[in-house]
Structure 1
């Protein structure tokens, strides 16, 4: 018999046999990641930018927007606040930028920053609209104060509203026009003392009830007293009506809610099938909310430049329902193409007249009177 043989295995060789194959895979993967630039992502420095936001904060709270900004090296810390409160905030200078919703707040912020770093950017706009439900829109058609924008559709998504005639229905009830609802016919908006959409409703009624923008404080106060009953009738909600309108029981919260068009468009594009029961009323004299990103620092400047130039951010803005604007204020054509490409009819934004709001200081006085703000 042959004697047994004993093999001596070098432990270093055994280690290499076990370690080299996975090491080769790791090295190959690392090379691919380095070439693509992805591996350095977690190690990039991230600049945290602090900002005050009114109603357009939903853009910066969008997860895709957060990821795009993070890829560019920025994280925006969102502090929500109403436009008017934003403009009055004592520690305004402690933020990198602010993003109020409307002209009055924009101008007040700029006046407070006189002589300091202030750079405005206007990346998009969105009309202020009145959102309702189909049966209530049809009741307004029956009342001869509204009409379908697309007369060829059995279920149009958009209607036009004559606010002058609508104001005359203040003492009427929905039951007068065939609905099982004894409530008065009113529009509900956020508090005009806090939210720009609420202030815009004041502007809609002021245009309907006045002969033109007031030129003096006395005329502004007189017109405000005419508007006040139309706003007082609703009671005043918080800073945003959209969350109440879009919930399943929305009819019990707000039959007609003042919101922004982008909120409706974004809601519809999130649905598997479009919600044909929720529709928009466009006043025959419209108002476009053109929020300004007002930068106070170089970091704020960089966010503003990205909003104006970055194709991914601009694409996402359109997907969230905003009309994009160029550096010279021109409207981009991408909004209509995206909306109709998804199968939703393009809304009649900008097709009618514009509400002429009073000068900022006179309009603020009107809001004080209408909303008992001070």
Structure 2
């Protein structure tokens, strides 16, 4: 109604604004169940709070077996247990004779160096020998076939009748090529007079008689330094064992100490030229041998079996076939090395327990070519052999001659090493 002719003004009406709710994006809805399932899985496995856990870094000195701890998969497995290993690379004997201050664990590649480390400890230590690996000579097919023609090596038969990867090496006959003197009659003795023309050179034993290749250099084995390396020390023990008529040095004349010392010195003087001719290299031999220039660096290199097998496994994965140019010489008598992981601190004890007990770490060691220790006599090699067969890699066959080279008593071995290598005195731990 209007009053006195004035129009009526209606009261303003308030309207409520409707707020439109945003919908959750469809891709989020789809992904939500998966994310929830992942979170549940992490919580069940105990890994949900892994990023917030404390990672302990262990200081470690290791020799060639650092290959195991440098492997990315092994590092990942250790991180799952809150451990990281900072590796300081050094030869096994160098580990044993130098200061260990600040180290949590050490991993020498053989028992002589491990005993030197253990003898220096004032605390009760925890240790484990997780695997074994034979000492071998890495070479190339043409050189191995030359040794076969010279009568010092024998090829193992490949199961498919193809080129073999492995040869057995008669160490006594082979040492006759290393000593720098004309040896007994071999197939390279063309005139039958019992001497070799140009003896102890590769061409002198027939390398240049096939394939148009030539090498007038000496027949040598490239080794690490005996003052630093377990492999070189083990090789030295092998030479001494053979030179001592397959008898461990230091086991004769035990009732006459002076006569025993003189016998060891005479033996060391006899084998010293076989080592000194190598040049006393101190670097890691497998790295050079397995490089693209390996054959030009050295025809024969002293390595461990696991290094060669790891190369063949990786080569098969990459190329779908074996590397048939690189081959192994298995010496007879043979030498087996037992690396020992030794804890020096409470934190180091954690790593030793883990390596000793964790199945995933053991499985990974097999994939890296190691003969892992298991319960039972056959467990050490059978798991590795099965893995090699499954990956199309020839399995090495043990020589029927099962003569094993035993390392001498530690004091005797140290005397031989110091005589051959003229090694510096060991460093002392500072308080």
Equivalence map 1:223-262=2 (5 Å):
223-262=267-306
Q: How many Å apart are 1:89 and its aligned residue?
A: 2.1
Cα deviation 1:313-346 (Å, max 9, x = unaligned): 1111000000000368874331111011111121
Q: Distance in 2 between matches of 1:327 and 1:121?
A: 14
Q: How many Å apart are 1:93 and its aligned residue?
A: 4.5
Q: Distance in 2 between matches of 1:327 and 1:45?
A: 34
Cα deviation 1:147-173 (Å, max 9, x = unaligned): 012277441111111111111112311
Cross-structure match for 1:3:
none
* Distance verdict in 2 for CA 1:49–1:26, change over 3 Å: farther
SS state of the match for residue 134, structure 2?
A: strand
Cross-structure match for 2:129:
122
* Distance verdict in 2 for CA 1:121–1:237, change over 3 Å: same
* Distance verdict in 2 for CA 1:20–1:181, change over 3 Å: closer
Equivalence map 1:8-157=2 (5 Å):
8-10=17-19, 13-14=20-21, 17=22, 28-37=33-42, 38-90=47-99, 92-113=100-121, 115-150=122-157, 153-157=161-165
Conserved? CA contact 1:55–1:240, under 8 Å: yes
Cross-structure match for 1:174:
202
Cross-structure match for 1:213:
248
Cross-structure match for 1:347:
396
Cross-structure match for 1:292:
340
Which aligned segments of 4 or more residues in structure 1 are displaced greater than 6 angstroms? 20-23, 327-330
* Distance verdict in 2 for CA 1:265–1:82, change over 3 Å: same
SS state of the match for residue 177, structure 2?
A: coil
For normalisation by structure 1, the TM-score amounts to: 0.91
SS state of the match for residue 107, structure 1?
A: helix
* Distance verdict in 2 for CA 1:234–1:349, change over 3 Å: same
SS state of the match for residue 358, structure 1?
A: coil
Flag structure 1 segments of 5+ consecutive residues without an equivalent.
1-5
Q: Distance in 2 between matches of 1:329 and 1:110?
A: 27
* Distance verdict in 2 for CA 1:130–1:120, change over 3 Å: same
Alignment of 1:164 with 2:172, yes or no, is yes
Q: How many Å apart are 1:41 and its aligned residue?
A: 2.8
Q: How many Å apart are 1:105 and its aligned residue?
A: 0.6
Conserved? CA contact 2:168–2:399, under 8 Å: no
Q: Which moved more, 1:245-254 or 1:328-337?
A: 328-337
Correspondence for 1:325 among 348, 358, 373 = 373
Flag structure 2 segments of 5+ consecutive residues without an equivalent.
1-14, 181-199, 209-213, 251-259, 425-431
* Distance verdict in 2 for CA 1:155–1:21, change over 3 Å: closer
Q: Distance in 2 between matches of 1:258 and 1:291?
A: 17
For normalisation by structure 2, the TM-score amounts to: 0.79
Conserved? CA contact 2:241–2:249, under 8 Å: no
* Distance verdict in 2 for CA 1:178–1:105, change over 3 Å: closer
Q: Distance in 1 between matches of 2:379 and 2:271?
A: 32
Q: Distance in 2 between matches of 1:293 and 1:310?
A: 15
Q: How many Å apart are 1:65 and its aligned residue?
A: 0.3
Q: Distance in 1 between matches of 2:301 and 2:286?
A: 7
Q: Which moved more, 1:130-139 or 1:207-216?
A: 207-216
Cross-structure match for 1:359:
409
Cα deviation 1:292-327 (Å, max 9, x = unaligned): 111123322221222122111111100000000036
Q: Distance in 1 between matches of 2:162 and 2:329?
A: 16
Larger Rg: 2
SS state of the match for residue 168, structure 1?
A: helix
Q: Distance in 1 between matches of 2:158 and 2:93?
A: 39
Conserved? CA contact 2:334–2:404, under 8 Å: yes
Alignment of 1:195 with 2:224, yes or no, is no
Q: Distance in 2 between matches of 1:330 and 1:103?
A: 22
Conserved? CA contact 1:195–1:239, under 8 Å: no
* Distance verdict in 2 for CA 1:47–1:330, change over 3 Å: farther
